[in-house]
Amino acid sequence: MVETLIDKCPRIETERLILRKWEERDLDGIVEMNADPRVMEFFPDVMSHDESAHMLARLMAKQDELGFACPVVEDRVSGRFLGFCGLNIPTYPIPLPFDPCVEIGWRLIPDAWGKGIAQESARIWLEFGFETLEIDEIVSFTTETNLRSQKLMQRLGMTRNSADDFNHQMLEDDHPLVRHVLYRLTKDRFESVSKS
């Protein structure tokens, strides 16, 4: 699919953001973000320091193996860790109903909300995924109740078919967040939406 010479997660700078690979120095930022109940509202629980450290280690290992893993979003002026946004290949112990796939995902600190940061970052990575990596389809998914993320998916041109909705395999069937929605975006649709 992709020549090994292509950097699958280049450092990209915009007027206000730096999008880059994960580094050890991101530990404090990811710990703080994952401990915030507002950020983790649509996840089973906040994460402990050790859980976030393990998550960072997994992201860095996946980045080394696959070339990308939801890259870091950093404030260009201050260097502050704002969260992550970008392409990822889900690797759950139990496969998703639509595996194999490439997803676009995001998680930002509250100070970065409502400023178009996730949308700006996601558009850059979608373009990179379709144009450079030559991916045919990119998906995104979230809990049925996470309307903010669903609105962003819609703004990105992604579409939902309710027949694709699913119960997340890592949650119990009676968990309040078990029901998830799936949004899809093809290269052709992305190009069409980008031109309009």
Residue 142 phi, psi dihedral angles, 5° rounding:
-160, 170
Pairing of the two strands 159-160 and 137-143: unpaired
Residues 6+ apart with CB under 8 A from 171: 44, 177, 178
The pLDDT score that the predictor gives to residue 196 is 67
Strand ranges in the chain using DSSP code E only, listed in sequence order: 12-13, 17-20, 72-75, 81-88, 103-108, 137-143, 159-160, 166-167, 179-186
The pLDDT score that the predictor gives to residue 103 is 97
């949004």: which residue's tokens?
183
Cβ-in-10-Å burial (0-12, 13-18, 19+) of 55 comes to middle
Which uninterrupted H or E stretch holds 195? helix 187-195
How far apart (Å, rounded) are the C-alpha atoms in residues 179 and 138?
A: 20
Record the pTM: 0.93
Both structure tokens of 121: 């970052």
Low-confidence ranges of the chain (pLDDT < 70): 1-6, 196
CATH number of 16-195: 3.40.630.30
Domains in the chain: boundaries: 16-195
Instruction: Count other Cβ atoms within 10 Å, centred on residue 48.
Output: 12
The pLDDT score that the predictor gives to residue 3 is 44
